[in-house]
A and B are shown apart, each in its own frame.
Chain A
Amino acid sequence: MQRPFTIDDIAMNYSSYIALIPLLPLAAFVMLGLLGKQLSRSAGILATLIMLVSTVLACYTAYNYFFVTGKVNGVYPPVAAFHYNWLPFSPGLSIDMGVLLDPASVMMLVVVNFVSLMVHVFSLAYMKGENRFATYYAFLALFTFSMLGLVLSGNLLQMYIFWELVGVSSFLLIGFYYDRPAAVAAAKKAFIVTRFADLGFLIGILILAFYGGTLDFNTLIYQLTATNSSPLTQSPQAGFPGISLLTWALMLVFMGGAGKSAMFPLHIWLPDAMEGPTPVSALIHAATMVVAGVYLVARLYPIYLLDVAVLQIITWVGAISAFLAAIIACTQTDIKRVLAYSTISQIGYMLFALGLAGYGHTTTGYSASLFHLFTHAFFKSLLFLGAGAVIHFVHTNEMLEMGGLRKWMPVTHLTFLIACMAIAGIPPFAGFFSKEEILLAAWENNRYVFLLALITSGITAFYMFRLYFSIFWSRTRSYPHQHGEGSWTMKVPLVLLGTAAVLVGFIPFADFVALDNQKEITIPLSFSIAPVTIAIAGIALAYLLYYKYNPGPQKLALALGGLYKMVKRKFYFDELYLFITKRIIFDGIAKPAAWIDKHLVDGFMNGAGRATARFAESIKAWQSGRVQSYALYFFGGIIALAALIVYWWT
């Protein structure tokens, strides 16, 4: 694998404006943060306009990268547009703030900007009348900035920095309704769980950086892939018995990714994160931030390719997450939670697609995964925005309290249907193509995974349409407050995303985003039969159970009994974590630590003081006040000294 070169003259025609793409939202954040109060209503519009500019720039960059610069001898070269030596540790080792353009990052650039813009527009209506309206947009801008920085970063620790920043902005946005205890708890949970994962990420970075001798992605990849003499690859030494340092490093880095992408068993924060405003969920917890884990693994893919074991772990983590999340999604009644679990499930797809290369047959999973990431961004954000519109209309998250909404909100209904089709993998919607590629990769590499994925896709179709039917069909209710579907600012994003969800599937994605030496992906029509049929079966089942309101579902639930309950309670993961934190961390470690400090360490100091005082009290009789005893002691002293001289020092 030859040194990925960076062509300066290419770099030239980006560096001028490319930095603006993330910096504009930052500017918006600072502006709104400082003088949000003054421009209350116009704050949103301002932020949205800035986002628009940034999006246009992003698209122009993409155009520039893919079509103007184009391929250089067969591949799209990674371009380090520019970098600034931000925090030098030691010669060679430093955090550089830079911009690294390669197909993946450019693709993400577009996605993040576009979705973010849509959310900005949507929120104009959705968040109208919030008293912290400006703050909301400030946080949105902050998040967009951080996400873009993450996407563009060309340096491990730069990525970590923005990784943390997206984490904190997600914390702020989840906790936006800060006076709701539930929201606060969810925000804390999200931050701490991801922080725990980031610990792994950080240590992984330390290992990689130390042995790679650099933090820069390109150089790092070159160092580790080119030279096999790198101490990382030689297994046990310095590492933990049996497992090579490389494995450790990659697993730890993946741990970070798994945390952000809410993979089992670190997924617990994502469903709770739905406490945040719905557009936020659409942006952060569906389209962009949660896929950061996938993006991270993709970034370091050449290194991951060195270590089969980790890739296989990734595969199974992804596959299992996809499956379990899908099952849980079937039992949830809070529409946002359903979507959250479906998000987990879909990201599971992306991750195991990446991992599949571990079985060493084909590496097509890479572009498949990123393709799914790409399409998923559109239809999932669409779903969330649709859900947002619905919630905005009915003022509840409970699907059981909905039904027949198609009458009142046709646009939402239509777009939502499209999105459901897309996620269920019905041709010709976007989801179909990406999912097909993933399934194909699975088929080529590991049949078990393929099987699991197939079943999951069926379940996906089922629960999505369960959702769809119970919102828009089922029994028709009357809603007290009959205001319309919502202003155009809410409709436009839905429509735009809808069209995207229809069209993006036709993009020959693999031509743009692929590994350097990857073979063409061609899906034989015959292959598509099984998935599609299964998807349709799922839809059919959903139709039977939920098209008209009937007692069927309850019966089914009762029939399944304990199983149903276990799934409904999300396999008791939250309880498990609660036990670990409360019983083990707090009661088990922290309480004793505090006790020791108060009673042993501190007690020792005070005890020493008291002991001295008591000793002083005990010898006071010496000073008896009798002049004769004084004289006696005097004489005794002389004798003692004489004795000392005689017997000790001679």
Chain B
Amino acid sequence: MLLSALIILPLLTAIALLFCNGLRQVRVLALSGAVVQLIYVLWLLVVYWQQRPAGDAAAILFEEDHLWFTPLNIHYHIGVDGIAMAMILLTALVAVAGILVSWSVEKLNREFFFLLVLLSLGAYGFFISLDLFTLFFFLEVAVIPKFLLIGIWGSGSKEYSAMKLALLLMGGSALVFVGLAGIYFNAPTAAGHTFDLLQIARAAIPAEAQKLFFPFAFIGFGIFTALFPFHTWVPDGHSSAPTAASMFLAGISMKLGGYGCLRMALLMPEAAQAYSGIIILLATIAIIYGAFATMMQTDLKYINAYSSVSHCGFVLLGIGMLTKTAIMGAVLQMVSHGLMTALFFAAIGMLYDRTHTRQVAQLGGLLKVMPFIATVFVIAGLCSLGLPGLSGFVAEVTVFMGAWQNEDALYRIATVLACASIVLTAVYILRAMGKVIMGPLAGTGSLGDSLPDAGWNEKLAAGILITGILVMGITPFWIIQLISG
């Protein structure tokens, strides 16, 4: 019951949202729901620390197992290990921040918050489920809210982006389905066919079956985390979405994919071994090519979206390298990127709300007008270019270290190329920062330098995310312990 609460709380919040009206009520309710959830997650974390056998990150805690569909041996089976715990924490943080930044959404606010909460619910369910069926269930639960959020509250060519996102993700989950079906019928478990992660992991899947179904599952999940060349939904989707939705998308939803890929790789080690070359190739392409593509973007949101493609490449790289350290790095990168990109989108959203443009060329010197937002922007940027002391560095250096432990020469080359991205990132981040934050003032329109700086809610939102980033960047040891003992 401890863990089901993670799903039940948002569910109750969502249902309650349907019955209240007026922006004031709605947002207060949504926020309080999210905050309660955050507190609960933190408490859960503490409990987890206490209960978990020392140094054993693989230990599954808070297990619950109810038979759901008897004939198919489908269970409602949930539980968390260190990794899942980290992802849940990320979700809780981003959720609160996301609700805070969309404090004054004008149209259809009830539906807006309802969908946001639903999205977070999907993420929670996904991360805690130990049964592949429930995993898939929650994966798809999270798709539709994205479509509606982008399509209704978005900007620019929102319908197109929403449709593109929905269809690509749908394709992804279709592939995932095939993979799961294959696993279901081919895992020689004692309990006959089953979706149960733990049992499947125990009963090794025959190698040829792995080789057949791993690509389906991996690519399927990969699409969710911007696997090249299926990343095209990322730029359009993120940049059309409203601020909060972008934060949820990049901060949480893309992590579903990474987490899924990770689970699949752990579930089918032989296949992962066999295909790791391709994974590395795609990941490296995503990293480098994403970075270069970012340089040419003129819209802040596009810049961040493309950089997300590049950064999520690190997740796949870490998974593909298959060394313990690299995988640890992948998880770190997921958490770090979640916080960092959410912060970045929040900052961009705040700028956009005031200047009504996201074109780099039209902005300039905003540090003078809105120091707080500018600072947030700078911190996000520095985190994204991997500045030590912020979470990005911890994640990336771990990935590099782990990747280098893979002695194959080609993998080494891939690693070096990936390292090169720290320069490329610096280039595009500094170009954007130098133009938007520094330089002569521009883009403030008629208001000149009387544009308001961040409000309390925005300050709070940014504060939460920055705290996360700093804590992870300055004291990485505890999260390392959390995810890898």
Contacts and interface: CB of A to CB of B under 8 A. Distances in A.
A596 B296 CA distance: 12
Interface stretch (A157-165, A297-305, A526-534): A157-165
Given A179-B439, A181-B440, A206-B400, A591 B325 contact: no
Contact of B422 (A181, A202, A585): A202
Contacts of A589: 292
B480 interface: yes
Nearest to A168: B387
Interface of B: 164, 167-168, 228-229, 231-232, 235, 289, 292-293, 295-297, 324-325, 328, 365, 367-368, 382, 385, 387-389, 393-394, 397-398, 400-402, 404-405, 407, 409, 415-416, 419-420, 422-423, 426-427, 430-431, 434, 437-441, 476-477, 480
A642 interface: no
A210 B406 CA distance: 10
Interface stretch (A86-94, A446-454, A495-503, A623-631): A86-94
B394 A185 contact: no
Nearest to A609: B167
Contact of B393 (A161, A175, A178, A601): A161
A161 B388 contact: yes
Contacts, number: 131
18 contacts: A90-B325, A162-B388, A184-B438, A187-B438, A188-B434, A191-B430, A202-B419, A203-B419, A206-B419, A590-B293, A590-B296, A593-B292, A593-B295, A597-B235, A601-B228, A601-B229, A601-B231, A605-B164
Given A85-B477, A164-B387, A178-B437, 18 more contacts: A88-B477, A89-B325, A90-B402, A90-B405, A179-B365, A192-B426, A199-B419, A199-B423, A203-B419, A209-B401, A586-B296, A590-B292, A591-B296, A593-B289, A593-B292, A597-B289, A601-B231, A605-B232
A548 to B, nearest CB: 43
B232 A187 contact: no
Given A179-B441, A181-B440, A195-B423, A594 B398 contact: no
A259 to B, nearest CB: 11
A196 interface: yes
A192 B289 contact: no
A511 interface: no
Interface string A187-222: 110011001101100110011011000000000000
A585 B294 CA distance: 12
Contacts of B382: 168
A597 B401 contact: no
A609 B163 CA distance: 11
Nearest to A199: B423
Contact of B398 (A89, A168, A198): A89
A157 B419 contact: no
A360 B437 CA distance: 52
A8 interface: no
A238 interface: yes
Contact of B423 (A88, A196, A586): A196
A238 B235 CA distance: 39
A195 B292 contact: no
Give the 5 A-B residue pairs with the shortest CB-CB distance, closest first: A594-B296, A161-B388, A593-B292, A178-B438, A590-B295
B434 A184 contact: yes
Contact of A192 (B167, B368, B393, B423): B423
A347 to B, nearest CB: 23
B201 to A, nearest CB: 23
A188 B394 contact: no
Contacts of A596: 289
A238 B409 contact: yes
A86 B477 contact: yes
Nearest to A189: B430
B438 A594 contact: no
A164 B393 contact: yes
A266 B262 CA distance: 41
B388 A593 contact: no
Interface in A593-614: 593-594, 596-597, 601-602, 604-605, 609
A192 B427 contact: yes
Nearest to B401: A89
B314 to A, nearest CB: 14
A168 B296 CA distance: 24
Q: Which of A165, A175, A206, A209 has the most CB of B within 10 A?
A: A206
Contacts of A162: 388
B137 to A, nearest CB: 27
Contacts of A209: 401, 404
Contacts of B232: 597, 601-602, 605
Contacts of B292: 589-590, 593-594
B85 to A, nearest CB: 18
A605 B172 CA distance: 14
A417 B477 CA distance: 52
B477 A238 contact: no
B434 A593 contact: no
Nearest to B475: A86
Nearest to B302: A594
A245 B229 CA distance: 34
A602 B235 CA distance: 10
Contacts of B440: 179, 181
Contacts of B441: 179
Contact of A199 (B235, B296, B422, B439): B422
Interface string A604-648: 110001000000000000000000000000000000000000000
B393 to A, nearest CB: 7
Contact of B416 (A185, A203, A604): A203
Contact of A89 (B228, B297, B368, B402): B402
A188 to B, nearest CB: 5
Contacts of B297: 594
B293 A202 contact: no
A179 B404 contact: no
Interface string A342-368: 000000000000000000000000000
Contacts of A161: 388-389, 393
Contacts of A238: 407, 409
A206 B293 contact: no
B367 A178 contact: yes
A210 B408 CA distance: 13
B313 to A, nearest CB: 14
A165 B398 CA distance: 18
B168 A597 contact: no
A87 B394 contact: yes
A210 B168 contact: no
A36 to B, nearest CB: 11
Contacts of B328: 89
